[in-house]
Amino acid sequence: MSRSFKIPRPIGEAAQVLFITLVSFLLLGVLWGVIHPTSELVVTADGGAEIAPGTEDASFRGFTYYVALTALGGIAVALWAFRTRMRGLLMMLWTTLAVLWGAVAAWTVGVSVAERLHADPLPEHPQVGDVFHILDAAGPSVGMVVAPALALIVYWMAATFADPEDFED
Range of the domain at 144: 23-118+128-161
3-class secondary structure, 2: coil
Q: Does 7 map to a domain?
A: no
Q: Does 14 map to a domain?
A: no
Cβ atoms of residues 15 and 102 within 8 Å: no
Confidence (pLDDT) at 144: 93
Q: Does 67 map to a domain?
A: yes
3-class secondary structure, 134: strand
Q: How does pLDDT run across 2-27, given as a tens digit for each residue? A: 678 888 888 999 999 999 999 999 99
Q: Does 9 map to a domain?
A: no
Q: Which amino acid is at 155?
A: Y
Q: Does 134 map to a domain?
A: yes
Cβ atoms of residues 58 and 39 within 8 Å: yes
pTM (predicted TM-score)? 0.87
Beta bridge partners of 138: none
Q: How does pLDDT run across 112-134, given as a tens digit for each residue? A: 999 999 877 777 777 787 888 88
Q: Does 166 map to a domain?
A: no
Whole-angstrom distance, CA of residue 25 vs CA of residue 143 = 14
Tens digit of pLDDT at every position of the chain (169 positions): 567 888 888 899 999 999 999 999 999 999 999 999 988 888 888 877 788 888 888 889 999 999 999 999 999 999 999 999 888 899 999 999 999 999 999 999 999 999 999 877 777 777 787 888 888 877 888 999 999 999 999 999 999 988 777 665 4
Q: Does 132 map to a domain?
A: yes
Q: Does 148 map to a domain?
A: yes
Q: How many domains does one find in the chain? A: 1
